Amino acid sequence: MSNKENEDISIDLEVETPEADNVTATKDKEVDELTQMKELVAQWEDKYLRTHADFENSKRLLAKDKVAAVSYANESFANDILSVVDSFDSALAMIASTDSEEGSDVLDKIKEGLDLTHAQLLKVLEKNGIKVVACEGEFDPDVHQAIMQVDSEDKVSGEIVQVLQKGYTIKERLLRPAMVSTAK
């Protein structure tokens, strides 16, 4: 080969090499842009999924709060009516402790009327989810309030001796604790 042919070949090679580098650089740049776009899409998809999950959690909590609000809407009214129940209990206890004369039909009729009214009131309360707190046996600080401790031969220490005021629950929530005396 002559020198001239070698120069032509080398010139061609020099020309081809920069073009190949430009093509490779352009392809690398496009790949980098594509990778960046894929990462950006993944970030936005993650943000969307997290936001959607937060929204669903909020929706579920609001629904739960709404159910609770509806269920316990009458709590204030129920708390006020408990004093009426206490008055009925006291009136019935007073009538029961009074010595009734054999000829006193009026007192018997009053007691019978109070008993029926008291029973009706308790049925209405129970129909609306209001129940009396059980006060037999062991003291439970979640539903009982100990007012005093007394000596008792019949009861073990910590057991309820006497109920001073009944406690009530509305559905599963404590409306008023039972006031009790416990054994020492």
DSSP, res 68: H
Full-model pTM: 0.54
Rounded-to-integer distance, Cα 83 and Cα 134, Å: 18
For the chain, the C-alpha Rg in angstroms (whole number) is 42
Write the burial class of residue 40 (CB in 10 Å: 0-12 exposed, 13-18 middle, 19+ buried). exposed
Residue 145: the pLDDT is 92
13 pLDDT band (50/70/90 cuts)?
A: very low
pLDDT in tens, 123-177: 888 888 888 898 888 888 999 999 999 988 888 888 899 999 999 998 888 989 9
Across residues 48-72, what is the average pLDDT?
A: 89
Residue 5: the pLDDT is 52
